[in-house]
């Protein structure tokens, strides 16, 4: 019995020890705390941004700002916010997810994307290929990905925002070839996904599959994620191949009006997002391998990024809502790739 009692005491002690600092932190941080709900590969970026913003805000207002970050698949993150996670700002992988927060959660107006410059995207990126050192399968462009015997790694577009950009980039490329048509694009993307042997649920999972597990000849990836992989793992293992044509990925940001008004954090939240457009933040953005939108900063880091012809989702697909419905909804074109070949 005594052992039993001791065990309970230990468990309780651990529980209290785990909870107490949090409770204490909440009492001390009576200043201002922001929650930034973001997508998977922005961990490093926002760690640096947060530090810079906190210093900037302290200098300007004397207030201490603490920014908590939450990362995960873009869709999953949006869902948590809709279900009541009290984020002050969202910085997600694609506009569609914030559209859903506006539509279902009614946390911000439907025209949110017009509220900040550049479609509310303070940074952009694109889709490139990561291949193994020396490019043994001689992959130069999109057409090489559909060749027989090439193993392609990309996450599942149904569960990953980044994967949707990958899919749309491939589709757009096929469409813009001489004689390109919807039918040709469909056939091209179908062949591409038949070369995919692992569909991870998120972008980071795919990176692991390609980098750590050694699976696949080519990994279709966010440009920032590919550059980060090279930096972390050394240029002696992988190289980046930039296709002739790719999509301009615009990860948007937004203040969630209902949440900031309830918590009284609108001032800091708004300033936090506006800070992203300042030269200082643009510099950090470029250092973290996102394409800066500030011309001078972009020019300074131009060497880091290959020149690539980019098309936008609005040009080719008529915006996210339409692309989502045609391609990724249940029974959409992506599903048909698989149901088409089902027995």
The mark string for 68-107 relative to another protein (x by CB under 8 A, - otherwise) is -----x-xx--x--x-----------------x---x---
Closest by CA to 333, choosing from 227, 145, 147, 189, is: 189
The mark string for 33-72 relative to another protein (x by CB under 8 A, - otherwise) is ----------------------------------------
Residue 137 binding another protein, by CB under 8 A: no
Cβ closest to another protein, residue 140 vs residue 213: 213
SS3 272: helix
If phi > 0 it is left, if psi is from -120 to 50 it is alpha, else beta; for residue 110 that is alpha
**Which member of 205, 243, 251, 252 binds another protein (CB under 8 A)?**
205
Specify the DSSP class assigned to residue 252: -
Cβ closest to another protein, residue 65 vs residue 313: 313
The strand pair at 291-292 and 89-91 is best described as: unpaired
Q: How far apart are CA 298 and CA 238, in angstroms?
A: 25
Closest by CA to 121, choosing from 328, 282, 321, is: 282
Structure tokens at 235: 């240029």
Residue 338 binding another protein, by CB under 8 A: yes
Q: How far apart are CA 248 and CA 168, in angstroms?
A: 10
Structure tokens at 211: 């980098």
Provide the minimum distance between the beta carbon of 76 and another protein in the complex, in angstroms, as a whole number. Answer: 7
Cβ closest to another protein, residue 24 vs residue 329: 329
Residue 158 binding another protein, by CB under 8 A: yes
Which residues of the shown chain bind another protein in the complex (CB under 8 A)?
73, 75-76, 79, 82, 100, 104, 156, 158-159, 196-201, 205, 208-209, 212-215, 328-330, 335, 338-339, 341-342
């Amino acid at each position: 019995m005594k052992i039993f009692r001791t065990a309970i005491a230990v468990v309780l002690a651990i529980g209290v020890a785990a909870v107490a600092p949090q409770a204490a932190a909440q009492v001390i941080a009576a200043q201002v705390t922001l929650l930034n709900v973001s997508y998977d590969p922005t961990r490093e970026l926002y760690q640096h941004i947060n530090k810079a913003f906190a210093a900037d805000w302290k200098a300007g207002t004397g207030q201490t700002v603490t920014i908590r970050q939450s990362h995960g698949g873009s869709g999953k993150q949006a869902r948590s916010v809709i279900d009541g996670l009290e984020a002050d700002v969202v910085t997600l992988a694609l506009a569609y997810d914030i559209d859903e927060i506006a539509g279902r959660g009614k946390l911000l107006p439907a025209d949110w994307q017009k509220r900040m410059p550049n479609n509310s995207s303070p940074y952009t990126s694109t889709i490139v290929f990561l291949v193994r050192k020396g490019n043994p399968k001689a992959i130069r462009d999109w057409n090489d990905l559909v060749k027989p015997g090439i193993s392609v790694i990309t996450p599942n577009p149904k569960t990953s925002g980044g994967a949707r950009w990958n899919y749309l980039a491939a589709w757009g490329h096929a469409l813009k070839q001489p004689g390109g048509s919807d039918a040709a694009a469909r056939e091209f993307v179908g062949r591409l996904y038949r070369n995919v042997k692992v569909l991870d649920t998120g972008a980071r999972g795919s990176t692991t599959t390609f980098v750590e597990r050694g699976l696949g000849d080519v990994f279709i990836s966010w440009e920032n994620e590919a550059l980060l992989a090279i930096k972390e793992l050394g240029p002696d293992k992988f190289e980046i191949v930039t296709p002739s044509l790719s999509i301009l990925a615009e990860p948007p940001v937004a203040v969630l009006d209902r949440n900031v008004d309830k918590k009284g954090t609108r001032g800091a939240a708004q300033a936090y997002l506006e800070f992203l457009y300042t030269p200082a933040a643009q510099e950090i953005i470029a250092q973290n391998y996102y394409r800066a939108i500030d011309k001078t900063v972009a020019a300074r880091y131009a060497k880091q990024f290959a020149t690539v012809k980019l098309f936008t989702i609005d040009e080719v697909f008529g915006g996210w809502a339409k692309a989502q419905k045609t391609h990724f909804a249940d029974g959409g074109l992506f599903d048909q790739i698989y149901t088409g070949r089902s027995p």
